[in-house]
Chains A and B, each alone.
Chain A
């Protein structure tokens, strides 16, 4: 059985349909990409899965349990962690303290939480920043700390919302390696949305394409990019027609 099962999920904000009957699954050992043009409803779908928004209709199952009615923090406790697009650094806590907030999810012991936090920082290769304050770090490092905090809560599935945003190409490459290690060595399933298509294409076993709140395609990355529907969604009707005409001429 799939780890995450999204079944005909719809989310309306008043008259605006942000998601319409979206269905897909994520398996335990999968990396799944969620792509689509701006405003396609990717973040809303994330928020629906993670319990931030109440669903208008549909069900979300996680690890066999129906989580559609649960609150965000209850969903998190079941092992569904997430990162945020906009990450605000903290003034009061050092890096290791921040990560400890994540590890405190499953332990009440400070020693245990600290050990887990240090292990996680080490795993992500940022152990040397442990004692720094968050505000002293560059953005890329802050994002790694946010990732470490989510990881320290020992999730089964990690939802990554635009983790590559604002990073330069070499940082993105480093991030891809890191996420692949998280997936392989920790056995955590990943579901990621990304504007940086290159990243999704390089990592995902399967890609789901959203447009105007609906799923328009699903498949392996190489297939999906050739799908005329997807090309149309990203590049517009004109491009598709012109392309078809050129193909006909040739």
Chain B
């Protein structure tokens, strides 16, 4: 019971942040009713998806300080579980999604156990490696379509809630928005939980954490598993939304890096960080990408540009955009 109360307890956050969050929530709820292009709608859906990826990443990368650059492997596990089960056995999304989360969590225990013997950069590099190995395996595994990937069958009967197939994007939007809100409340509960406190102690100093009775290795594995569940759930959603998945798309290093980058840009270790990061980077990636990509000789410049922005932020304020907000607030006090 207390866990539920903690999850809905936002009272420790400043009032200005809460009013801003409420305004954003009203906007998100009303967005489909506002005039928008289909490109705008798909950008919003991507924003929600990356916010959720980032919230997951934040549990281990932000609160725990363990920089994870292999989250794409869990996007892949979620997406492939849903796709394979729908294609082969007609399993609905609502059943395959939790199963995908369970597979991803199981896999996270298997690789988390040895990986968390490593620290710092070594851990980061190892997460990249495991993710790439899994991607390579999927590319040669015929059962899951190999490198060509999988095409989801169109079930018809729109709106099809069972298989998450809709003609209009706003169905997807609201389903993802609901997942976004559940995710946000979960992270808020995590922040207030014993594990949440212990992870922040681990991030500070592992020796001190151990002297306070914290089993550092096991705590990291648990948080990593929770982070994984988030990412896999959105992966399942992505398979239905996209109708088409392939290893290069859902398990690439680019995706892993993008997930970590958004959370870090927004502010790792803060509840709003991943959302701020996704709100900045997703539109930038989409609009700048399509605009610059259209100019002759400028293709790829958008990547260089947002690389530069991230470097500037990392140098000026390692705690990201939210860190800047906090620094300003501290100065005013």
Q: Which residues of A contact B (CB under 8 A)?
A: 50, 52, 71-74, 76-77, 81-82, 84, 87-88, 90-93, 97-98, 100-102, 104-105, 107-111, 113, 146, 149-150, 153
When the two chains form their complex, are residues A92 and B212 in contact, meaning their CB atoms are under 8 A apart?
A: no
In the bound assembly, the distance between CA atoms of A73 and B208 in angstroms comes to 10
Contact of A153 with B204 in the complex, beta carbons under 8 Å = no
- Of all chain B residues, the one with the shortest Cβ separation from A149 is B212
Is the pair B193, A110 in contact by a Cβ cutoff of 8 Å?
Answer: yes
Residues 192-230 of B at the A interface (beta carbon under 8 Å): 192-194, 197-198, 200-201, 203-205, 207-216
* Bound CA span A84–B192, Å: 26
Knowing A92-B203, A109-B2, A110-B192, say if A81 contacts B197 (CB, 8 Å).
no
The verdict on B6 contacting chain A, using a C-beta distance below 8 Å, is yes
With A88-B205, A109-B2 known as contacts, the answer to whether A104 contacts B197 (CB < 8 A) is yes
- Residues of B participating in the A interface, judged by any CB pair closer than 8 Å: 2, 6, 192-194, 197-198, 200-201, 203-205, 207-216, 269, 319
A77 to chain B: which residues have CB within 8 Å? 213
A108 to B192 alpha-carbon distance, docked (Å): 10
Q: Is the CB of B204 within 8 A of A104?
A: no
Q: How far is the CB of A132 from chain B (nearest CB, A)?
A: 11
Q: Which residue of B lies closest to A77 (CB)?
A: B213
C-alpha spacing A74/B210, complex, angstroms: 9
What residues on B are CB-neighbors of A97 within 8 Å? 197, 200
Contact indicator B213/A100 (Cβ below 8 Å): no
**Given A100-B197, A104-B198, A108-B194; A92-B213 close (CB under 8 Å):** no
CB distance from A71 to the nearest CB of B (A): 8
Given the known interface contacts A97-B197, A111-B2, the answer about A102 and B212 at a Cβ–Cβ threshold of 8 Å is yes
**Nearest CB in chain B: distance from A247 CB, A:** 47
Q: Which of B198, B207, B216 has most A Cβ within 10 Å?
A: B207
Chain B residues, CB < 8 A from A107: 194
State the Cβ distance, A45 to closest chain B Cβ, in Å: 16
A149 to B207 CA separation, bound complex (whole angstroms): 14
Asked whether, in the complex, the Cβ of B6 is within 8 Å of the Cβ of A72, the reply is no
A176 to chain B, nearest CB (A): 23
Complex: A71 Cα to B2 Cα, angstroms? 31
On whether the beta carbons of A76 and B207 are closer than 8 Å, the reply is no
How distant is the Cα of A73 from the Cα of B210 in the complex, in angstroms? 5
* Contact between A105 and B197, CB atoms less than 8 A apart: no
Q: What 4 A-B pairs come out closest when comparing CB atoms?
A: A76-B213, A77-B213, A90-B204, A105-B213
Q: How far is the CA of A77 from the CA of B215 in the complex (A)?
A: 10
A53 to B332, alpha carbons, bound, how many Å? 46
29 residue pairs from A and B, CB less than 8 Å apart: A52-B210, A72-B210, A73-B212, A74-B213, A77-B213, A84-B208, A88-B204, A88-B205, A88-B208, A90-B200, A90-B201, A90-B205, A91-B204, A91-B319, A92-B203, A92-B204, A93-B200, A93-B204, A97-B200, A98-B201, A101-B197, A101-B209, A101-B212, A102-B212, A109-B2, A110-B193, A110-B194, A113-B197, A153-B212
* Centre residue among B193, B194, B215 by max chain A CB count within 10 A: B194
Given A81-B211, A100-B197, 10 further pairs, Cβ under 8 A:
A52-B210, A71-B210, A73-B212, A73-B215, A84-B207, A88-B204, A104-B194, A109-B2, A110-B193, A150-B212
A104: B residues at CB distance < 8 A: 194, 197-198, 212
Q: Is the CB of A76 within 8 A of B198?
A: no
What A residues does B207 contact at CB under 8 A?
Answer: 52, 84
Closest to A79 in B: B213
Known contacts: A100-B197, A110-B193. The answer to whether A153 contacts B205 by CB under 8 A is no
Do the beta carbons of A92 and B216 come within 8 Å of each other? no
Chain B residue numbers with a CB within 8 Å of A109 are 2
Q: Shortest distance in angstroms between A73's beta carbon and chain B's nearest beta carbon?
A: 5
Bound-state Cα–Cα, A91 to B211, Å = 19
Instruction: Please name the residue on chain B nearest to A152 by beta carbon.
Output: B212
State A81–B169 Cα separation when bound (angstroms).
Answer: 57
Residues of B within 8 Å of A149, CB to CB, are 208, 212
Given contacts A82-B211, A92-B269, contact A101 B198 (CB under 8 A): yes
Q: When the two chains form their complex, are residues B211 and A50 in contact, meaning their CB atoms are under 8 A apart? A: yes
Min CB distance A24 to B, Å, is: 21
- Assuming the A-B contacts A92-B269, A109-B2, A110-B2, are A76 and B201 also in contact, with contact meaning beta carbons closer than 8 angstroms in the complex? no
Within 8 Å CB of B201, what residues of A?
90, 93, 98, 101
A150 close to B198 (CB less than 8 A)? no
User: A72 to B206, alpha carbons, bound, how many Å?
Assistant: 11
Asked if B210 and A76 make an inter-chain contact with CB atoms under 8 angstroms apart, the answer reads yes
Q: Which residues of B contact A82 (CB under 8 A)?
A: 211
Known: A84-B208, A110-B2. A73 touches B200 (CB 8 A): no
Q: Which residues of the partner chain B approach A101 to less than 8 Å between Cβ atoms?
A: 197-198, 200-201, 209, 212, 214
